[in-house]
């Protein structure tokens, strides 16, 4: 929080915090913020209120780590658009997501957006870079499904409509 407060004090008009995971099973690193449980709301509200004292807009960045999630933190095998080999020893091979998994994720993003509103944030940014879930559906390296790119984009658009 201190890093964000320092920027807010410095006169930045918009403060966007970094990746906040939308469900416990997709945490990517230690001490990462979460927004998947009402238990997070008091802390997120405190963050939002603290930053707003410096008269700026506060945006919360939400994400789903998918294949970049850490089993050591979540206890679950990472998942992705498809099973594929990751050329990085820090990540394990993900399992392919089912249609139910995809639906659940869309609902998690929608719930996280609602929680962000309850916590007092001015907006939500969906983090789509760095090989996270949406990137994994759009990439031909990680999306080996027989689904067309158009269908992958439709999945992404549904997410934005729900949020």
CATH number of the domain residue 143 falls in? 3.20.20.70
- What percent of the chain stands above pLDDT 70? 90
Residue labelled with tokens 């729900």: 162
**CA 136 to mean position of chain CA atoms:** 13
Q: Which residue has the higher pLDDT, 21 or 18?
A: 21
Specify if 143 maps to a domain: yes
Q: Is the pLDDT of residue 159 over 70?
A: no
Please give the Cα distance from 85 to 68 (Å, whole number): 12
Q: Report the number of distinct structural domains present in the chain.
A: 1
Range 69-85 average pLDDT: 90
- Cα gap 29→70, rounded to integer Å: 7
End-to-end Cα, the chain, rounded Å: 25
The answer to the question of residue 48 being in a domain is: yes
- Is the pTM value of this prediction over 0.75? yes
Task: For residue 70, give its domain range.
Answer: 15-162
Mean of pLDDT values over 151-159: 65
């Amino acid at each position: 929080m201190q890093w964000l407060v320092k920027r807010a004090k410095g006169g930045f008009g918009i403060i966007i915090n970094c990746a906040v995971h939308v469900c416990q099973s997709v945490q990517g690193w230690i001490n990462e913020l979460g927004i998947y449980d009402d238990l997070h709301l008091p802390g997120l509200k405190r963050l939002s209120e603290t930053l707003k004292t410096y008269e700026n807009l506060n945006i919360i960045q939400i994400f789903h780590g998918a294949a970049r999630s850490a089993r050591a933190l979540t206890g679950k095998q990472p998942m992705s658009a498809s099973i594929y080999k990751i050329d990085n020893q820090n990540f394990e091979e993900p399992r392919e997501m089912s249609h139910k998994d995809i639906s659940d994720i869309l609902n998690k993003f929608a719930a996280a957006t609602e929680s962000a509103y309850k916590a007092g944030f001015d907006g939500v940014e969906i983090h789509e870079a760095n090989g996270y879930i949406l990137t994994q559906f759009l990439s031909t390296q990680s999306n080996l499904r027989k689904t067309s790119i158009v269908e992958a984009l439709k999945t992404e658009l549904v997410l934005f409509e729900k949020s």
